Structure 1
């Protein structure tokens, strides 16, 4: 029998006993009424005896002892009605606690119950439905519209439209292409697709998340034992007040009244309900807290250690620019490189393919592809021999020329990486890549300091030059680079000696450090990784600012729990003193204690509600989604702007004129229209949610400067295309650089602003 049904049965027995005894008493049968009330009291007493016996076997003394003593005292003094009322009071409190637990665990249960139970296996020309646990790697799985992907696998269909909100929090459907890996737990939002299973269900992403959820749901918060430690002082105090009441009055009814109002339901209820409510609230925000001990430890954190790659940065390479030498065009070089990169699953290769598609290029199928892991790719594309990868692999025995050496120096200065490309045996260009800092990272670190975090440290195995750029941009207090996993453990342990410490990471190499910290936080949705298994908290949404939110939730839940403990003990102590003085009869005391219980339960449930002083400021989610979607639609024109800002003056004259004309048209149609729409509709709306008379005046000024530069470029384009002596290519490039710099800064500011308002 489940805890809920057992407590509900006790409540029904206690209520029926009290009601039946009352009816018999009204029928002038006091002896039978007393017997019925006694039976109801004894049932509760027997349950308490069994539970207390089990706790004593574990060498634990709990608050249930006082409840048992009060029922036995009522029966011993032949106050059967009082005993029945106390039994009903306890049964009501237990039932309410179970109901609260069920409500608080709803999100955790929903996560577990969402796991798929069956899968469709394609065999030959037919389909066979099998239990999801029977799916083996190498089998082809069909996922229909609306179904949850049952196992991790590689997409075989041309493309798939997926709802990944359950794992990443992304509100919009995401398109994946053939060859990409799909994580179990995402929902197919488009046509049926086929995937090749790469893991069995037990080893897949969603199964790992479910295991973590089940562990959190089953756990009993150690903070509850803190309530039992309170009871170690509360029990002797209760007995002392009861003894004093008997000593000064000789009236056992006062003793009974003291014991009745001392029944420690507030102590029993306040802590577990508040803690589990906090865990549940975190789960609603896609933050999985392993147990109550972790939640309590979170509330004490004063130092934060962060990994770099995948935590402070997005963990994915992005193409920043394409640098070329000779007559080859940047987009043509990117198209050739992307065509060859299609044959590789390496993250850099996939980033190049994504960049080509973003710019509207159509990669062609390569031939005779050869890949050397860690070095690069070689093959034939459109009749050209193309080689791409590390400079040594691409350059071969020809040595490093002046142009290549200059590009290597630039990459070193910018703390980035590059994929060099040779065509028909000649070095033609380099594709610059970087793992960008998360947009929300600086804002998150400022919020952490506002929450009382004393020191923020970055631990990374990356080289110092790269780590320094990220640390300076994010606002890190202390940096340690070039670390092994053992080194990370050392620094975390050193931090734990000075203050409660949190370590946050996402990779397998972070798992030892996560386990060494007072609280480990795993970044991202991959619940089967070693980092997630070692962590006490798993962020199922790929957003760094959830760290601030889980700290707020933990501190609020622990505060509510402590308030419940002290308020419950204080009210019970006051009632005991009144009862000891003879002003509170036992029966009235039992009713008063029931009211205290309800008050404490209501207070504990506050941990489920909104955090005080923290919210989304009423910002409509739809506007944030619209902005992010429009920003994504502008990626292509902004990428073209950035590329032309770097190489416009080196382009052939005819090509430069055509490219500039196309770019200006795109700036008018997309960028200018977007910014004017923001100025007319979005900014006035936002002003209502931000302090100050005109909080977005600086952003509006940037809009006006963007409009001016677009207009200037439009005039320069007209003159440049007419062949006028002025402006020259250098002057046009100068204005392109200004607009590119301003647009990047403005978009970063806008996205940081909206992420600060978005608390989804």
Structure 2
């Protein structure tokens, strides 16, 4: 049985249950708008045929019925909007169609109805085209997985279970063509995965035994066994689905501003139409003014352009949480970036162990690694991997407390073990030799102090080299509009400055705890809009404090991804410059569409008020304006699926 690519499962159920067949209300509304054009088209055609054969009354009846059909649907839409507290320019469409019928202008009414329905169909198409990439992410979510069951001497058997039933430690068979249901590691076999839907990377990546793999990847190789590391609801792909749904529902500041301008435009329209009628006594002039203003490109262009930008960034492995975040991305001028996992790989390796008597190197390493099994920090993972590679027997820690940015405290084999930085040790009154802070030199990118039962036990030195493409990416960020770059790190200043020497960085803030990082962000906000980039749980407060938070979500902490406004689905900053350029272009196109569309509409309304346009001509002009504005807004979708950028996202 194949996995169903619906939006059900552990995460998508809420969205799936909104309406039958898994369609969200917005999708049903789009389908209705898309099919609405058939009614006035049929009525207008039937009326033209009737008049051509000499049946003027039948023609008028056909046109009136077509107008009434569209008007009835429109009234339902307007009533629904008013119930939500939204007052929009659909009211102008109601007045123009109702006015055409009241003034015995059935042909004008039918043309207005056709133009209005055609505009809604075009808008529905544009919105669907713009959000296609984000919708595709949600649609690929599997509902079930093949879990290996058995034990106690019984041969293992495979059983298909809902994603909600999966738990860490479960062994899952991933067949060729399956989408990985949860985050985990390759337990048996070799995984060849297509990551394009997550990262935009076009070439499949190969993963060997014990390699970490992300949910949402597509297995394009042979079947392999996956060991689940997280529940389905906490996996990378589940988080992506939540973010996509939030992004589709969010309304950008520019869109909210457009709504307010739409009300002003509505008042201008009514005043101009009423003034033309009062000045000339010709009701058709007022009708023509209303027709030209139906609907306004102001409310069409902004959502299409912004959603187009969201879709393009999603194709590049950059998930932006809505139009508001896209606008903030376009305005960012200052970059505050964490070092570990962003400018470096975040995969530090143990370089040296300096044991302090009476503890031996092996025992100190075993106790520290046993404790760090409870931490998701990159340094902690590196320590655990090193201990396993040395075949050390790790114990299960208990009573663990993690102090973000400082370290971990807990019990291992009944002994109280602490592993972290100098602040953690000072808080417990544990004094280490002074060599523990400086003797390692700049080659050690991180130093972990280990204490056992309140006594210094070891000094562990780690190396986490700079990414080879770090300088090129920072240069590309400069070119995309970032004027100032600040490095914020918990490492010692000597380490940070040695590691980033020669990089285009304006300032280095070192020896920071999470509160200090947040303070740096707040101070930089006085200079301009700040974008903060981080990947660890200790970065979450700073991400939330920035104008725009960017998290490396490929393997970063869930807290960082939740606090951020933008999540990079690749383990690299490489796609960020492209995302900034896309955001700037989308915002510029939205503004351009609004200004040009409003100018054309106002010019047409003035011409109609002066008697230069009939209602039918006004309807045709209005449709031409809408088509031009929406097509211009869709330029935000332009560009190849993969743009060139420095470096290549790591898999």
TM bucket by the smaller chain? 0.7 to 0.9
Check 1:554–1:245 CA distance in 2 against 1; reply closer, same or farther (3 A cut): same
Going from structure 1 to structure 2, the CA distance change for 1:458 and 1:417 (only over 3 Å counts) comes to closer
Aligned match for 2:635, one of 602, 606, 627? 606
Which of 60, 69, 89 in structure 2 is aligned with 1:63?
A: 89
More helix per residue: 1 or 2?
1
Check if 1:580 corresponds to 2:609: yes
2:266 matches 1:240: no
Q: Determine the structure 2 residue equivalent to 1:675.
A: none
Larger deviation: 77-86 or 57-66?
A: 57-66
Alpha-carbon offset, residue 418 of structure 1: 7.5
| 2:237 is the alignment partner of 1:206 | yes
Residues 168 and 542 in structure 1, CA contact (< 8 A), matched pair in contact too: no
- Tell me what 2:464 maps to: 435
Cα deviations across residues 666-714 of structure 1 (Å, max 9, x unaligned)?
xxxxxxxxxxxxxxxxxxxxxxxxxxxxxxxxxxxxxxxxxxxxxxxxx
1-side partners of 2:537 and 2:381: how far apart?
22
Which residue number in structure 1 is paired with residue 543 of structure 2? 514
User: Which of 452, 474, 482 in structure 1 is aligned with 2:503?
Assistant: 474
Report the CA distance between 1:586 and its aligned residue: 1.6
Alpha-carbon shift at residue 353 of structure 1 (Å): 11
Report 1 or 2 for greater relative contact order, CA contacts < 8 Å, sequence distance ≥ 6. 2
Distance 1:495 1:431 in 2: 34
Alignment of 1:20-39 (within 5 A): 20-39=46-65
Q: CA deviation at 1:282?
A: 0.9
Is the partner of 1:538 in helix, strand or coil?
A: strand
1:449 aligns with 2:478: yes
> Which of the numbers 554, 564, 568 marks the counterpart of 2:583?
554
1:105·1:280 contact (CA, 8 Å) conserved in 2?
yes
- The within-5 A match list for 1:710-729 is none
Shift of 1:252: 2.1
Deviations 1:482-524 (A, max 9, x none): 2232332333233334422222111112122222222211113
SS in 2 for 1:474: coil
Instruction: Judge conservation of contact 1:511–1:531 (CA < 8 Å) in 2.
Output: yes
How much does 1:219 deviate?
Answer: 3.2
Give aligned pairs, total. Answer: 570
Question: Are residues 1:249 and 2:280 paired?
Answer: yes
Task: Write out per-residue CA displacement over residues 538-596 of structure 1, whole angstroms, 9 at most, x where no aligned residue.
Answer: 11122213222111111111111111111111111111222222222221221121111
Distance 1:757 1:369, change over 3 A: closer
CA distance in 2, matches of 1:467, 1:449: 21
Say if 1:415 and 1:469, in contact at 8 Å, map to a contact too: no
How many angstroms does 1:222 deviate by?
4.2
Shift of 1:308: 1.6
Q: Corresponding residue for 1:107?
A: 133
In the superposition, relative to structure 1, how do residues 415 and 354 fare at CA in structure 2: closer, same or farther (>3 Å)?
closer
Q: Are 1:315 and 2:346 matched, yes or no?
A: yes
Alignment of 1:303 with 2:318, yes or no, is no
Query: Residue deviations 1:264-296, cap 9 Å, x none?
Result: 342232111111111111111111111111112
Alignment-derived partner of residue 500 in structure 1: 529
TM-score normalized by the length of structure 2? 0.77
- Maintained 8 Å contact 1:271/1:561: yes
Q: Is the 8 A contact 1:90 1:265 kept in 2?
A: no
Root-mean-square deviation (CA, aligned residues, Å) is: 4.0
Asked if 1:152 is matched to 2:183, the reply is: yes
Moved more, 560-569 or 135-144: 135-144
Counterparts of 1:165 and 1:246, CA distance in 2: 59
Do the aligned partners of 2:309 and 2:637 also contact (CA within 8 Å) in 1? yes
The answer to whether the aligner puts 1:85 opposite 2:85 as a matched pair is no
> Structure 2: how far apart are the matches of 1:249 and 1:166?
60
Shift of 1:342: 13
| Cα distance, 1:602 vs structure 2 | 1.0
CA contact 1:162–1:190 (8 Å) conserved in 2: yes
Structure 1 pair 165–578 and aligned structure 2 pair: CA distance change class (3 A): closer
* CA deviation after TM superposition for structure 1 residue 15, in Å: 1.4
- CA displacement, residues 25-84 of structure 1 (integer Å, 9 cap, x when unaligned): 223222232222222222333333333334344444322222222222212211111111
Question: SS in structure 1 opposite 2:533?
Answer: strand
Consecutive unaligned residues of structure 1, counting only runs of 5 or more, are 325-336, 357-362, 376-388, 391-403, 421-429, 617-753
Partner Cα distance (2:64, 2:247) in 1: 40
Instruction: Write the distance in 2 (CA, Å) between the matches of 1:759 and 1:597.
Output: 43
- Gaps in structure 2 of 5+ consecutive residues: 1-24, 355-364, 401-406, 409-418, 421-432, 450-458
The question of 1:272 aligning with 2:298 is answered no
Relative distance call for 1:262 and 1:488 in structure 2 (3 A) is same
Whole-Å separation in 2 of the counterparts to 1:605 and 1:486: 42
Aligned to 1:143: 174
1:610 to 1:158, Cα distance in 2 relative to 1, 3 A: closer
2:598 aligned with 1:569, yes or no? yes
Q: 1:169 to 1:80 in 2, by over 3 A?
A: closer
- Which of 129, 144, 163 is 1:118 aligned to? 144
8 Å CA contact 1:468, 1:479 repeated in 2: yes
2:38 aligned residue:
12
- Describe the superposition over 1:285-324 as per-residue Cα deviations: whole angstroms up to 9, x where unpaired: 11111111111222222222212211222111147x8999
Aligned to 2:205: 173
Residue 197 of structure 1: aligned partner = 228
2:246 matched residue in structure 1: 215
Does 2:646 match 1:755? yes
Deviations 1:379-402 (A, max 9, x none): xxxxxxxxxx99xxxxxxxxxxxx
Q: 1:506·1:522 contact (CA, 8 Å) conserved in 2?
A: yes
Which residue number corresponds to residue 53 of structure 1?
Answer: 79
Q: CA deviation at 1:352?
A: 9.3
- 1:261 positional shift: 1.3
